[in-house]
Amino acid sequence: MGARQVLATDPAVLADLAQVRLGTALFRRALSRVPDARFAEPSLLAGWSRAHLTAHVGYNARAIARLVAWAATGVERPMYASPVARATEIAEGATQRPEALRSLCEHSAIDLDVRWRDLPDDAWSHRVVTAQGRNVPATETLWMRAREVWLHAVDLDVGLSLHEVPTQVLQRLLGDIVTTWDRRADLPMPRWALVAGAVTVGWAGAGAQDVEVRGSLPAVVGWATGRAQPGDSALLHWRGGEPRRAPRWI
Ligand code: ZN
């Protein structure tokens, strides 16, 4: 018996599926570079060890698989019972042995991929609700997971950088971030102009002052996601204001 084929036929879904599979492969490669003895060391995410990060990536696959199951069956399944339940799961998960964490990541990623593979065309437009309360079609689960695996592969701190992440992924990520900031008129922020390579991503913030931050696309995304030092003058150039941290976007 041969391997089953992906049921989706929409080219956009197939392209996103290919992209998330590449990201998953990168995360897997990154994790394989972490020796067991180094799981307790810090990741690039403040307050999280590599064990926390690995537990999170594994449980995130399970949470997204619940949304795909929801789309497949019509039976509502939230990603997490609550934000506290999510945090507890990660904290407790991080106490497992490296071998168990590797297996969690591996099996949850395979299970999620099988669920995507077996999701028929008509179910991809089924609406589901994310942990942030956004109501989205099931197609969005591909991008939600892609963001996680691409960024967290870098966060494992094994020598990968945002330069390893495809331009298309970085651009989409920056678009998400700008949209998120734009929705939050409460933030005490200037009006930003993010100039990534040749592309200007303007953000109509509430502030009157215009601040421009310019750099390569990976550098600007690094800053916008809190993964680069705002004052790193080799990477980022500022105009109209002092270097500053980007607001939270997730
Ligand atoms: Zn994450």
Rounded to a whole number, what is the largest CA-CA distance in the chain?
A: 64
The distance in angstroms from the start CA to the end CA of the chain is: 43
Give the model's pLDDT for residue 143: 98
DSSP designation for 215: E
DSSP designation for 102: H
Give the model's pLDDT for residue 231: 86
Q: What is the pTM of this model?
A: 0.92
Residues 6+ apart with CB under 8 A from 229: none
Q: CB neighbours (10 Å) of residue 181? A: 21
Tell how far the Cα of 210 is from the centroid of ligand 1, in angstroms. 31
Tell how far the Cα of 186 is from the centroid of ligand 1, in angstroms. 24
Answer whether 193's CB lies under 8 Å from 199's CB. no
Give the model's pLDDT for residue 199: 78
Tell how far the Cα of 59 is from the centroid of ligand 1, in angstroms. 10
Give the model's pLDDT for residue 228: 85
Tell how far the Cα of 150 is from the centroid of ligand 1, in angstroms. 10
Integer angstrom CA distances of residue 40 from 53, 90, 103, 159, 193: 10, 14, 17, 17, 39
Give the model's pLDDT for residue 130: 95
Tell how far the Cα of 60 is from the centroid of ligand 1, in angstroms. 7
Tell how far the Cα of 144 is from the centroid of ligand 1, in angstroms. 9
Give the model's pLDDT for residue 27: 98
HSE value, Cβ hemisphere, 13 Å, CA-based, for 7 = 13
Tell how far the Cα of 241 is from the centroid of ligand 1, in angstroms. 30
pLDDT in tens, the chain (250 residues): 567 899 999 999 999 999 999 999 999 999 999 999 999 999 999 999 999 999 999 999 999 999 999 999 999 999 999 999 999 999 999 999 999 999 999 999 999 999 999 999 999 999 999 998 999 999 999 999 999 999 999 999 999 999 999 999 999 999 898 888 887 777 767 777 888 887 777 766 656 678 889 999 999 999 999 888 888 888 999 988 889 888 887 7
Answer whether 158's CB lies under 8 Å from 101's CB. no
How many H-runs (helices) and E-runs (strands) does the chain carry?
Answer: 7, 6
Give the model's pLDDT for residue 2: 61
Q: Which residues of 70-96 are buried (b: 16+ CB within 10 A; e: fewer)?
A: bbbeeeeeebbeeeeebeebbeebbeb
Give the model's pLDDT for residue 40: 97
